[in-house]
Amino acid sequence: MKLNCVIILLFLVLGCKSSADGIAISSSEKDAFEETTGEPVVIADKEKEYEITIIDPGFYSWLKSFARAEGYYSQSFLENRNAIYVLNWNQRVLLPGQYPSNLYEWPIDYDPQTDYGYEVNYKLYNYFIYFQRKYNQRLGPYIPRL
């Protein structure tokens, strides 16, 4: 199965606050959120025919500075969370009147029955955590903590 996904978020954040959920956002994490330049994060495997490109300027530095190290979570944990987050993300793409259309522009083609491997699931999961913390969104029942 081919997975094509491009996540592009290139707009200014009007403000980063701690949410009512009790998520503490440090000043150094806010600095990562406010970055306007940064490397895109590309996850690709030509053999399995999938590619994810994340072009959110602060994500690369956030991933290197704040995300749990690779190996911290099991692949099954990441796959289960990603399935929930992708489902909620795609529902929001279909409801632009209810959710900010500038945040949820494109659906994500993610099949929970496909083994995308650890790296894809790790980076996609961390993008969801980054996204939820940066934009004060909830994509599931879990509080997006570090």
Kindly report the number of other CB atoms within 10 A of residue 60's CB atom: 18
Is the pTM higher than 0.75?
yes
The pLDDT score that the predictor gives to residue 102 is 93
CA angle 99, 101, 103 (to 5 degrees): 90
Per-residue pLDDT in tens (0 to 9) along the chain, 146 residues: 555 555 554 433 333 344 445 588 899 998 889 888 888 888 777 777 778 888 888 999 999 999 999 999 999 999 999 999 999 999 999 999 999 999 999 999 999 999 999 999 999 999 999 999 999 999 999 999 88
Are 45 and 91 within 8 A, CB to CB? no
Are 32 and 66 within 8 A, CB to CB? yes
Measured between alpha carbons, how far is 32 from 1 in angstroms, rounded to an integer? 34
Are 67 and 129 within 8 A, CB to CB? yes
| Element holding 61 (H helix, E strand) | helix 59-65
- The SS3 assignment for 33 reads helix
Which token pair is 120? 């894809």
Measured between alpha carbons, how far is 100 from 110 in angstroms, rounded to an integer? 21
Query: Which residue type occupies 110?
Result: Y
